[in-house]
Amino acid sequence: MSDEQINVAILGGGMFFDDIIGQSFKDLMRGGVAPALTSVGMSHLARDVAHVDINVVAVGTRSKKSGTADKICDWFTTNLPDRSIKPYYGDTVWRDILEAHDVDVVFVATPDHLHTQPILDALDAGCDVITEKPICLSTAEVDQIISKAAQSDRIVAVDLHKRFDPFVRDMMTSARDKYGQINRVRCVLEEPLEVSTEIFAWTEHSNPFAYVGCHWLDVVHHYLNVRPVAVYATGQKNLLLHWDEHHVELARRRNIDPQTCNRQDAIDTWDSLDVAVTYADGMRGDYSNNWILPYEFEGAVNQEIEVYGIYGRGFVDQQDRGFRETVAGAGSRTRNPTFGGRIEHKGGNLEVFGYGKASIISGLLAILRRRFLGESAASLDETYPAARSQREVVRIIEAAGIVAQKNFEHHALGRGCPVTAVLEGSGIEVADPG
């Protein structure tokens, strides 16, 4: 190992851990950050940071009964037997880790509603942070994070990989030049039903717009530099709210035993949310998100973004990228190796590439530049998805949740959906004529 290193603690072991997060850090522990810098257009800095060793020292998850942290540590050391990684458990597991280890970076992969406190405590301990999206769920919390990060001159990076999708990036970097004034963007990101009913136990604490809509909000705000002024939202609660009834019929249609479903009770969250954002320049953003995409859908997700200008239109759709395969017994599927492609080298070493990894690399590079190249955190904000860039994203997420719930209640009483939110100033003003 190098004389110069950063120690990383990872909190959580969620859906993408094996495929993206964990594998990315395994790659980084083997080869450092330099080999991956081309993916974020920063290869000119490779020599400056190539000497820094990335060292995962601890993994923390909530439930000791699950044994997840132990399994992750064993998974790391299978390929990296010279590294010592310690598992931790508990509701505030990060505090035990920060007390026991000299940690430089905390990677937060806890459920959506449990990001804020680990981030704040990590900053208080002098750490830089990379967190899963969304950074948090309320404007008050994101303001706390932004303020503390600025006061401590620390990096808080958000894992927003759609910003680095090469198809999206190519379209969005020159959208205004090619299409002229942008009138409207239409964004769709739909997650499979397994996410809300089988994989996550915390869906009641979030919603599909917060969970994946944040990706498209970040892309639109980052590349088009727009300012939101109003939010309108409606949502549907038909399937998950009555999951205690519907899971039986769905299981019958899939020819499986309903008792094998992880969740069998009603799940009090939105099936889908449709959010319309009006921006200061007159542009309209339409964001459609759900996490009830049928099990049988051909892709891992359904995602598309369409940009309309006065001189042209751009459209990126995952299924239209063209990689489809049909396998006996498995059916037809759409593949997206640009997100999380995998290469297995001789000797069994696996390596991941793609924009899922690029997002992590962008935040980690900012941390190395601050720690080893003497650059300030504030000067690096535009090079990665920084906490400051997420304030308007979070404000829209919070406003959409408020407005959708009020419109849901009005609709149930036969009064239509009259509620909207105004985002002038720094807060959220709800306009409810009912």
Q: Give the residue extent of every domain in the chain.
A: 5-162+340-386, 165-334
Look-up of token digits 């396998």? 327
Copy the structure tokens of residue 394: 């979070």
CB-side neighbour CA atoms (13 Å) of 15: 18
- The answer on pLDDT for 375 being more than 50 is yes
Copy the structure tokens of residue 248: 């039986």
Copy the structure tokens of residue 320: 């239209």
Task: State residue 232 phi and psi, 5-degree precision.
Answer: -125, 140
Homologous superfamily of domain range 5-162+340-386: NAD(P)-binding Rossmann-like Domain (3.40.50.720)
- The answer on pLDDT for 2 being more than 60 is no
Mean of the per-residue pLDDT values of the chain: 95
Kindly report the pTM of this predicted structure. Answer: 0.96
348 residue type, one letter: G
pLDDT in tens, 379-412: 999 999 999 999 999 999 999 999 999 999 999 9
- Tell me which architecture the domain covering 165-334 has in CATH: 2-Layer Sandwich (3.30)
Of 432, 412, 405, 410, which Cα lies nearest the Cα of 421?
A: 432
Answer for the pair 405, 397: CB distance below 8 angstroms, yes or no: no
**ω into residue 81 within 30 of 0, thus cis?**
no
pLDDT in tens, 325-340: 999 988 888 999 999 9
386 SS3 class: strand
Q: List C-alpha distances in Å: 334 to 161, 194, 300, 324.
A: 19, 17, 8, 4
Q: What is the model's pLDDT at position 434?
A: 78
28 residue type, one letter: L
Alpha-carbon distance of 227 to 287, in angstroms, equals 16
Q: List C-alpha distances in Å: 411 to 232, 234, 408.
A: 14, 10, 5
The DSSP 8-state label assigned to residue 77 in this structure reads: H
- The answer on pLDDT for 45 being more than 90 is yes
25 SS3 class: helix
- The answer on pLDDT for 178 being more than 90 is yes
Q: List C-alpha distances in Å: 65 to 90, 96, 118, 297, 317.
A: 11, 18, 22, 33, 41
423 SS3 class: coil
How many helices (H) does the chain have, and how many strands (E)?
15, 18
pLDDT in tens, 6-33: 999 999 987 778 889 999 999 999 999 9
Q: Do domains 5-162+340-386 and 165-334 have the same CATH topology?
A: no
pLDDT in tens, 117-168: 999 999 999 999 999 999 999 999 999 999 999 999 999 999 999 999 999 9
Copy the structure tokens of residue 136: 């948090």
Task: State residue 136 phi and psi, 5-degree precision.
Answer: -170, -175
Q: What is the model's pLDDT at position 82?
A: 93
The DSSP 8-state label assigned to residue 387 in this structure reads: G
Look-up of token digits 């401590």? 152
Answer for the pair 306, 186: CB distance below 8 angstroms, yes or no: yes
Alpha-carbon distance of 222 to 151, in angstroms, equals 24
Alpha-carbon distance of 291 to 235, in angstroms, equals 12
pLDDT band at 345; cut points 50, 70, 90: confident
- The dihedral region occupied by 126, where left means phi > 0, alpha psi between -120 and 50, and beta the remainder, is left
Higher per-residue confidence, 290 vs 320: 290
Q: What is the model's pLDDT at position 341?
A: 92
Q: What is the model's pLDDT at position 17?
A: 87
Q: What is the model's pLDDT at position 291?
A: 98
pLDDT band at 1; cut points 50, 70, 90: very low
pLDDT in tens, 75-117: 999 989 999 999 999 999 999 999 999 999 999 999 999 999 9
- The answer on pLDDT for 72 being more than 90 is yes
Alpha-carbon distance of 200 to 191, in angstroms, equals 12
Q: What is the model's pLDDT at position 112?
A: 95
